[in-house]
Chain A
Amino acid sequence: MPDLHMVVCLKVVPKPEEIRVDPETRRLDRTHARSEINPPDLNALEVALSLKDEYGGRVSLLSMGPPFFEPYLRVGLAMGAAHAFLLSDRAFGGADTLATTYTLARGIHKLGGADLILCGEESSDGATGQVPAGLAEWLDIGQLTLVSHVDVDPVRGVVRGRRNLKGGYEILEVPLPAVVSVRTASNEPRFMDYRIKPWAFEEGRVTLWSRADLEVDETCIGVAGSPTTVSGLAQARRRERRRQLLTGTPEEVGRQLAELLLPRTAID
C-alpha cells in the first residue's frame, strides 16, 4: 500500500473556563475567552502522528472557520503535521451539522481523498459528537466512533479500534478509507517540536480554501444548507436550593450531615 494519507479535523473553540454568562442578559460572554484547539481533537491528532511514526505517510490538518483559526492550526503543524487546510468563507458561517459535514467532505474531496480521517470525540462547545458519522456518510465510507487503541494494517487496508460498551468493550475493524473518532483522553498528545516550530509558522504552511475553491453546491453550505434554526433562547431553569451553611468542627459537621442523610438513604 502506498503512503498512508491521514486527515485530522480540527476545530478551534473558546476555552470553556473563560466563558462567562452575563448575569443580566444570561447570554454567553466570550469577549475575554481565549481560543484553543478543541482538546479532544488533539487526541485525534496524536493518533495520526503515532500512526505516521509507525508506518510512515503524512498527516494533513483540516478545519472550517474564520481566518483567525490559522495560528492555532500551526500548533498542529509544529506537532508534526505536514500541511493545514482552512475552509474559510463567510458563506460557510452559521452551519449546523448537515452543512458542516458537507463542507468538510468537500474539503476532503478537494484534497484528493484520504485513507484515514480522524476526528475528536466531540467539540467542547457544541459537544454533540455528530460530525464524524455525518462526514462518513457524505464520503460514503466506513466509520469507527469513540475508539481508543487505534491501529491500521496497511497490508490488509483496515483500521481497528477499541470501543467501550456498557460494562465492556468491542474491538472493531473497518476497511480504509474510513472516518475514526478518537475517544477523549485516550492518549497523551505530544508537545510542539521546537525544532520544527519556526517552519510551522512560515508563510505558505496553511492553505485557505473558499467556497469557489471547493466547488460546493451553494444550497448545501452555511445557513442555506442548515435545516435547523435557533428559534429562541430560554433562561436556564434553575432550581432554588436552600443554600444553608453548616459550620463547626469536622466532627460536628459530620454529625449534622449524618442526620440529614439518615431519613433519605438505606443504611444497613
Chain B
Amino acid sequence: MAASLYGIEQEQKAIWVFLEQESGVLERVSLELLSKGRQLADQAGWPLTGLLLGHAVAPLAREAIAYGADEVVLAEHPLLSIFTVEAHSLVAFSALRQGQPSVFLLGATPNGRDLAGRLAVRLRTGLNADCTDLRLMPETGVLVSEVSGFGGGVLALIEMPHHRPQMATVRPGVFLTGQADYGREGRVIRQPVDLTEALVHTRIVERVTGQSVDLTQTPALVVGGRGIDGRFDVLRELADLIGGEVGATRPPVDEGHIERERQIWQTGVVCRPKVAIVCGVSGAFHFVVGIQGAGLVIAVNSDPHAPIFDFADYCVGGDVFEIVPALIRALRDVREVAHA
C-alpha cells in the first residue's frame, strides 16, 4: 500500500478546519465545522486549529477563536484574496506539511471541494466527501466518517487507518453553528507565504458576487418536486406569505425551472426549518435526508401511495394546485381577521 506523505508516526494529534472566507466573511459551514471540531477535540483532548487564507483577513482569526479554535494558522497574501485552486492549495499544503495534523476538515462548497480534491492527492491520503456525521475514536484517534449511500437508506462508515491527515468534507447545514464567545483565548500563528503570480495559472476574467439565498437558515420551506411541472409561482406566493423560502428537488432544478442553490440535499443543502411544506415530491431517500431536521413536515401529493407520506407529519392526497391556493386563501382570511 502506498503511504501518505506523513503518517501516523509523524502526525500531530490535532484537528484542523479550513476556514473558508469570501470578501472577509467566514462561510457559515466553517463555523459549523469549528463547532463540530470543538466537540471532537474536547472528547479526544486534542487542540483545534483553524487554517485561514486570504488577504487582510486577520480579524476573522478572532472570530474563529470565538467559535472554538484554540489557534489559527493565518496566511495572508494579495494572491489569496480571491480563491484560485493553485494559490490556495500551495499555501494550504505547506501549512499542512508543517503542522501534520491528524484530521483536516473542509466545507463541501465548490471551493472547498476543489481544494480538498487537490490536497488529498498531493498528500497521498484519503478523502471522505460529503460526510453526514463525524466521530473520533478516543483510543486510536481514528476518524469515522458517515456518508449516505446511493439513494438508499444505508449509511456507510468510512475510516482511513493508515493515512494522514484524515480528510473529510461536510456540506453546509449538516452541523449546527455554536455560540460565539469573544472572551475565549487563542493564538494566531502567521504562516509565511511564498507566492508569485507565475505560480497562479487561473485567470479571473470576470467576477460578480452578491446576496444569495441561504436555505439552511430559513424558518419555513416550501418545496416543489417533479410533480409540480415547474410551476413554482404559487409555491413562491405561499413562501412569501409565511416568511419562508422556496426549495426544490433535483428534477425541477435540472430542468431549469429554479436555481440550483435552492436544491435540497443532493449537491444541495441541509435545512432545519420549523415547517416544511413538500409539494409534488415522491420522496426519494436523498431528499428525505435533506428535510430530516425539519420541525414539521406537511406533504401534498396527488399519488396517495407516494413514499413521501411515510416521512411527513401531515399528509394531503390531492392536487397541489388546488390545495396550496386554498391554504393561501385560508391564511389570508386569518390575517384579515387579525388585522380587522
Contacts and interface: CB of A to CB of B under 8 A. Distances in A.
Given A173-B202, A267-B241, A19 B158 contact: no
B183 interface: no
Interface string B327-340: 11111011100000
Interface in A151-175: 158, 160, 163-175
Interface stretch (A51-59, A68-76, A129-137, A200-208): A129-137
A133 B152 CA distance: 27
Given A121-B267, A143-B114, A243-B312, A260 B298 contact: yes
A146 B153 CA distance: 28
Contacts of A98: 120-121, 124-127
Interface in B250-274: 253-256, 260-261, 266-267, 274
28 contacts: A16-B151, A28-B149, A96-B126, A98-B120, A130-B117, A131-B117, A134-B120, A138-B121, A145-B113, A164-B260, A169-B206, A169-B207, A171-B205, A175-B201, A184-B267, A185-B254, A185-B256, A227-B126, A228-B159, A230-B158, A235-B154, A237-B155, A246-B316, A255-B326, A257-B316, A258-B327, A258-B330, A261-B331
Contacts of A21: 152-154, 285
Interface stretch (B52-60, B61-69, B317-325): B317-325
B110 A163 contact: yes
Contact of B326 (A158, A235, A241, A253): A253
Interface of B: 1-2, 4, 22, 85-86, 110, 113-118, 120-122, 124-130, 144, 146, 148-163, 201-212, 219-220, 241-244, 253-256, 260-261, 266-267, 274-275, 277, 284-285, 289, 292, 295-298, 309-319, 322-323, 325-331, 333-335
A172 B203 contact: yes
Given A121-B267, A264-B296, 8 more contacts: A134-B127, A163-B110, A171-B205, A184-B254, A242-B312, A245-B315, A255-B326, A268-B243
A261 B275 contact: yes
Nearest to A146: B110
Interface in A8-27: 16-17, 19, 21, 26-27
A28 B154 contact: yes
Interface stretch (A78-86, A109-117, A191-199, A218-226): A218-226
Interface residues of A, number: 90
Nearest to A145: B114
A217 B2 CA distance: 9
A19 B313 contact: no
B153 A167 contact: no
SS of A interface (majority): mixed
A220 B243 contact: no
B121 A137 contact: yes
B274 A241 contact: no
Contacts of A236: 148, 152-155, 285, 289
A25 B170 CA distance: 27
Nearest to A122: B267
A243 B117 contact: no
A90 interface: no
B295 to A, nearest CB: 7
A130 to B, nearest CB: 5
Contact of A227 (B149, B160, B220): B160
A257 B327 contact: yes
If over half of B's interface residues share one DSSP class (helix, strand or loop), that class is named, otherwise mixed; here it is mixed
Closest 4 CB pairs of A and B: A133-B117, A254-B326, A227-B126, A167-B212
Contacts of A31: none
B243 to A, nearest CB: 4
B149 A231 contact: no
Nearest to B256: A185
Contacts of A146: 110
Contacts of A246: 314-316
A258 B329 CA distance: 9
Nearest to A184: B254
A167 B209 contact: yes
Contacts of B325: 250, 254
A258 B151 CA distance: 33
A265 B256 CA distance: 29
A35 to B, nearest CB: 13
A44 to B, nearest CB: 15
Contact of B113 (A19, A130, A242, A244): A130
A258 B116 contact: no
Given A167-B212, A168-B210, A265-B220, A254 B157 contact: no
Most chain A CB atoms below 10 A, which of B124, B154, B163, B244: B154
